[in-house]
Amino acid sequence: MPRGNDNITKVFYQGKADDFVIFVDDVPSAQKWRHDRTIPLAQVVSGWKVFVTHKQGAQGILDGASKAMLENEFGTTREEDVVQQILEKGEIQEVTSAERSGKRNVANGGSFVNTFQV
């Protein structure tokens, strides 16, 4: 996953029972695949994991989709077929991940500075 301020491209599919998300490499490759199916999916998809957001939209918490969820929504448990359907019918979204801020490694000790002299 990106560390921060990096672009993430995903395809969001709003289903009847749940919402599904897959990650792709970039917007142009996903759009190119929609018009030219001879392009291998491996050059478009960033990982073969299908996520479900439990009807919380594109910004919801992502959980791995179970085979039962895939069967109910897409009529198959074969991930390649599911990914193709999501790419065909889903909405391509590009978002920038938020930069992480805060202490770098709290485990190395506290940030308390002793200013008292004994």
Yes or no: say if 60 and 19 are a contact pair by the CB < 8 Å rule. Answer: yes
Q: Is residue 35 part of a domain?
A: yes
Q: Which residues contact 75 (CB under 8 A, 6 or more apart)?
A: none
For the chain, what is the domain count?
Answer: 1
State how far Cα 48 lies from the chain centre. Answer: 11
The domain of 42 spans 7-96
Domain harbouring 22, CATH code: 3.30.1250.10
Q: Is residue 102 part of a domain?
A: no
Q: 74 vs 60, which has greater pLDDT?
A: 74
Residue 97 pLDDT level (bands cut at 50, 70, 90): low
Yes or no: say if 93 and 40 are a contact pair by the CB < 8 Å rule. Answer: no
Residue 83 has pLDDT above 60, yes or no: yes
The whole-number pLDDT of residue 102 equals 60
Q: Is residue 107 part of a domain?
A: no
The whole-number pLDDT of residue 113 equals 55
Residue 30 has pLDDT above 60, yes or no: yes
- Which pTM does this prediction carry? 0.75
